[in-house]
Structure 1
Amino acid sequence: MDEVLLLSRIQFAVTVFYHFLFVPLTLGLVILVAIMETKYARTLDQTYKRMADYWGKLFAINFVLGVITGITMEFQFGTNWSEYSKYMGDIFGSPLAIEALAAFFLESTFMGIWLFGKDRFSPKLRAVSIWMVALGTNISALWIITANGFMQNPVGYVLNNGRVELNSFAELVTNPYAWYMFVHTVVSAYIVGAFFMMAISAYHLLRKNETAFYKKSFKYGLAMALFSATLTPFIGHQSGVFAAKMQPAKGAAMEAVWETQKGMPFHLIQIPDQENQRNAFAAISIPKIGSFLYTNSFNGEVTGFNDLPKDEQPNIELVFYAFRLMVALGIFFLAVSWYGLYLYRKNKLETSPKYLKLVLYSVLLPYLAINAGWMVAEAGRQPWVVYGLMKTSDGVSPIASSQIVFSLAALIIFYTVLLVADVYLIVKYAKKGPESEAHYSLGGGVKHVS
């Protein structure tokens, strides 16, 4: 069973990882495209139409391939995690059903109108359509995170005949853990979308291609980067405080806290040693900051692993380093965004090749940061699949490991093909650039009806 458990966890992790390479860009880029469509609908300035069409094409590629990767993910609850599904089906199925019936149909319907009505509908209808797609993607994220939020912080349930059953739908949808996760995830996705737009714009600015077009595109990406990168530390801090309160082991793992203490210092440099239940090295300590970061009080008490069951410890090194990586990258995004604002306002953006190259080469870092955050959330919850109610080892299906090996190999091949196709198409059309101004002046894309 240990081998089945390990393989099942690897398979689900691989599936989620591949799928989540598409989701953040969808959530972040759709808002920017919707803003451009709105600007065109209000001004009828062809520049905004060119921007909406160009960035919308890249969004559509990512959206369509992302939907495909999400379809197979939910099947694993019945194949690899049947015991979990039996135990949690009454609650876990509700938000996922709503997500499929409401959010997915909302976004897919209006995506069709926006995508295939390009030359048929008025600018205002297209703007409304893409905003509905944006609403649908965010509602979809909300319901999925609501389901995950219950796994992190079970609320609104009763235990009946060895199963978790929904007792209060209101408590389920107002679960504070889920809302902290949702806001933190969505704002982090805005960083992904912003840096994606800034990086592609930087690529063309370095080559002096369509300078006015890409400078304006960079401005929109930079505005979203400033908003999201500045907001994220505050959201992340409150999310971390709540997580440490509800899951003390996760909180202890994020900072490798071994002894419960008040007025805990924060160590800038630290090396945890889980095997010996101590820190192998700690240096540059700032008094009481650790307590503030975890309790909002400089003298707050932070629970250490000495007061927690040893068999309920997560992989401390994994959570610790993932958390530090996420925080370090968050500071990096903040610095890059504000320095970009300085260059833009001084009209030095196009003459700052080092900065443009930095932005270009940073395009994948927001993906790394957001996945590190989810690693903290999910690995930090272990060994629980539903915190305090069900261990991960109790949720796995009674199947042969050979079956998982086959499906795991097939998934990796299938998802890798999709990822390669996504990257190839995005790079191809990103390099190609927007349609020429002549295309629009000759009437391309303007045959619409109200």
Structure 2
Amino acid sequence: MDVLDLARLQFGVTTVYHFLFVPVTIGLSLLVAILQTLWRTTGKNSYLRATKFWGKLFLINLAMGLVTGIVQEFQFGMNWSDYSRFVGDIFGAPLAFEALLAFFVESTFIGIWIFGWDKLKPSIHLACIWLVAFGTMASAYFILAANAFMQNPVGYQINETAGRAELTDFGAVLTNPVVLAAFPHTIFASWMTAGVVVIAVSAYHFKHERDLDVHRPAMRLGVLTTLVGGVGTAISGDALSKVMTSTQPMKMAAAEALYETTDNAPFSVLTIGSLDGRTGTPVVEIPGLLSYLATGGFGGQVHGIDDLNADYQALYGAGDYAPYIPLTYWSFRLMIGFGMLALAMAAIVWWSTRHGRLPSRRWFWPTVMWMAVTPFLANSFGWIFTEMGRQPWVVFSLFSTEAGISPSVGMRTVALSLAGFTLVYAVLIVIALKLFFKFAKAGPPSEEDALASASGPSDDPDKPMAFAY
């Protein structure tokens, strides 16, 4: 293992860890906004208690996401300075919009929402949490636009004298076909993740039969969100796979370990053979499915790894332009598999709790709670596939990952920072889970406490703002 491997490992660890919190933040912000809207429109205090309860869990997750997200930006200057020098003129533009516009809206209005329960008019206070929800989605868009340039560079020119890419069309960066396909896929996956979290926490209270008037509507909302998010993830994923095939055909070939160009290419659910998939016997195989994912037709042609590698060698010079096949093959399947498990779980919970039913089997609710890990695993494997499938490029067809490493950073420096980040993140995850579980188990506030802190504007202008949590 050399300094490049360690730097890549460090970036992967910090990215996957950070992305554990991002989908929950995006999804829960919307669900909290919906719950508060239901309270304002129906007047049912159970929705207010649910808003307070899930608002607290949302804030815990938001705080962890902010802390871990800051580390991501440091990575570019620590281990990837040559990458930052090459692409900074383009990569920095959407990230600046994310910080100055989306994150500004998100952070400002979440503060107003927390402290404004008894200071703002109900309609204005409600608008604050909706602005937070839109801010989180806008933030995701700008970050995905920056990442999309790495997958499919557009809107740039190469300055040969400076040796870097320079922005020529910011609109092209923001309307990159990859970001237009990846954004709905990410948002739907975030809704599915947040929905499963709501189902799992509500399942704990169903198991103990506590505050069902609060948790039953929350669970139904979680089920609906998971089903909509799961179906949307599948549909948007199909669109994203076709964009991926047109922009990065090697990634699609690597997803199936397809070495020879094939018409009516099958999709193997499971294959037994060599680690790189060059030889093997499919155990479960769906004819034509890979062709459909890649081209939209079951008889479509999918280019193989060997043919694409030969084409890339003619274009970019000698070398191996295929990613690590075992990782791309299995991460693609695990992403789909865990996502389907989450969707199936939501459908089972919906069927089991319809018409006010309460399943009595002892294993049911614990199983539902443990299933909360499935969307997180699906998201993590999805990002691993997305980033590893692009290798050996850090910016596809323009800049290799090897060329992006900081020239002055040695093995010892990267190893120490990797060990430090891993240790700190291990402590943070323990703290985050303890806080989340503590307040999740405590349940919603009483009706009296919830109403006391949501009384609306006071007649006393000197009354201090109330910290709602």
Q: In the alignment, which of 447, 454, 467 is matched to residue 437 of structure 1?
A: 447
The alpha-carbon deviation at position 365 of structure 1 amounts to 1.2
- The residue that corresponds to 2:234 in the other structure is 233
- With normalisation by structure 2, the TM-score equals 0.91
Compared with structure 1, are the counterparts of its residues 167 and 340 closer, same or farther at alpha carbon in structure 2 (3 Å cutoff)? same
Matched, 1:246 2:247: yes
- The residue that corresponds to 1:378 in the other structure is 387
Distance 2:453 2:111 in 1: 20
Q: In the alignment, which of 292, 316, 327 is matched to residue 325 of structure 2?
A: 316
Distance 1:258 1:249 in 2: 10
Give, as a single letter, the amino acid of the residue that structure 2 aligns with 1:303. Answer: H
Distance 1:176 1:49 in 2: 41
Q: Deviations over 1:75-108 (max 9, x none)?
A: 1111211100111011001011111111111100
Give, as a single letter, the amino acid of the residue that structure 1 aligns with 2:291. Answer: S
Compared with structure 1, are the counterparts of its residues 266 and 3 closer, same or farther at alpha carbon in structure 2 (3 Å cutoff)? closer
The 5 Å alignment of 1:26-175 reads: 26-161=25-160, 162-175=163-176
SS in 2 for 1:385: strand
Distance 1:347 1:353 in 2: 18
SS in 2 for 1:267: strand
The alpha-carbon deviation at position 449 of structure 1 amounts to 5.1
The answer to whether the 8 Å contact 1:222/1:340 transfers is yes
Distance 2:424 2:339 in 1: 32
The alpha-carbon deviation at position 59 of structure 1 amounts to 0.2
Q: In the alignment, which of 454, 457, 467 is matched to residue 448 of structure 1?
A: 457
Distance 1:265 1:312 in 2: 23
The answer to whether the 8 Å contact 2:117/2:453 transfers is no
Distance 2:453 2:105 in 1: 28
Q: Deviations over 1:42-82 (max 9, x none)?
A: 23322111110000000001101210111121011112111
Compared with structure 1, are the counterparts of its residues 242 and 349 closer, same or farther at alpha carbon in structure 2 (3 Å cutoff)? farther
The alpha-carbon deviation at position 397 of structure 1 amounts to 0.1
Distance 2:151 2:450 in 1: 51
Moved over 6 A (4+): none
Q: In the alignment, which of 351, 356, 359 is matched to residue 365 of structure 2?
A: 356
Give, as a single letter, the amino acid of the residue that structure 2 aligns with 1:18. Answer: Y
The answer to whether the 8 Å contact 2:264/2:300 transfers is yes
The alpha-carbon deviation at position 234 of structure 1 amounts to 1.3
SS in 2 for 1:312: coil
Matched, 1:410 2:435: no
The 5 Å alignment of 1:240-389 reads: 240-271=241-272, 273=274, 278-309=278-309, 311-351=320-360, 353-389=362-398
Give, as a single letter, the amino acid of the residue that structure 1 aligns with 2:337. Answer: A
SS in 2 for 1:421: helix
The alpha-carbon deviation at position 349 of structure 1 amounts to 3.9
Of residues 341-350 and 45-54 in structure 1, the stretch that sits farther from structure 2 once superposed is: 341-350
The alpha-carbon deviation at position 245 of structure 1 amounts to 2.3
SS in 1 for 2:279: strand
Matched, 1:391 2:400: yes
The alpha-carbon deviation at position 439 of structure 1 amounts to 2.8
Distance 1:40 1:285 in 2: 49
The alpha-carbon deviation at position 353 of structure 1 amounts to 4.9
Gaps of 5+ in 1: none
Of residues 236-245 and 387-396 in structure 1, the stretch that sits farther from structure 2 once superposed is: 236-245
Give, as a single letter, the amino acid of the residue that structure 1 aligns with 2:425. Answer: Y
The alpha-carbon deviation at position 284 of structure 1 amounts to 3.8
The alpha-carbon deviation at position 145 of structure 1 amounts to 0.6
Of residues 408-417 and 183-192 in structure 1, the stretch that sits farther from structure 2 once superposed is: 408-417
Compared with structure 1, are the counterparts of its residues 131 and 447 closer, same or farther at alpha carbon in structure 2 (3 Å cutoff)? closer
SS in 1 for 2:158: strand
The alpha-carbon deviation at position 446 of structure 1 amounts to 1.3
SS in 2 for 1:73: helix
Compared with structure 1, are the counterparts of its residues 268 and 21 closer, same or farther at alpha carbon in structure 2 (3 Å cutoff)? closer
Compared with structure 1, are the counterparts of its residues 216 and 295 closer, same or farther at alpha carbon in structure 2 (3 Å cutoff)? same
Compared with structure 1, are the counterparts of its residues 312 and 121 closer, same or farther at alpha carbon in structure 2 (3 Å cutoff)? same
The alpha-carbon deviation at position 200 of structure 1 amounts to 0.5
SS in 1 for 2:209: coil
SS in 2 for 1:197: helix
Compared with structure 1, are the counterparts of its residues 440 and 76 closer, same or farther at alpha carbon in structure 2 (3 Å cutoff)? closer
- The residue that corresponds to 1:426 in the other structure is 436
The alignment covers a number of residue pairs equal to: 447
The alpha-carbon deviation at position 428 of structure 1 amounts to 0.3
The answer to whether the 8 Å contact 2:342/2:371 transfers is no
The CA RMSD over aligned residues, in Å, is 1.8
The answer to whether the 8 Å contact 2:16/2:383 transfers is no
The alpha-carbon deviation at position 355 of structure 1 amounts to 3.7
The alpha-carbon deviation at position 444 of structure 1 amounts to 4.1
The answer to whether the 8 Å contact 2:29/2:58 transfers is yes
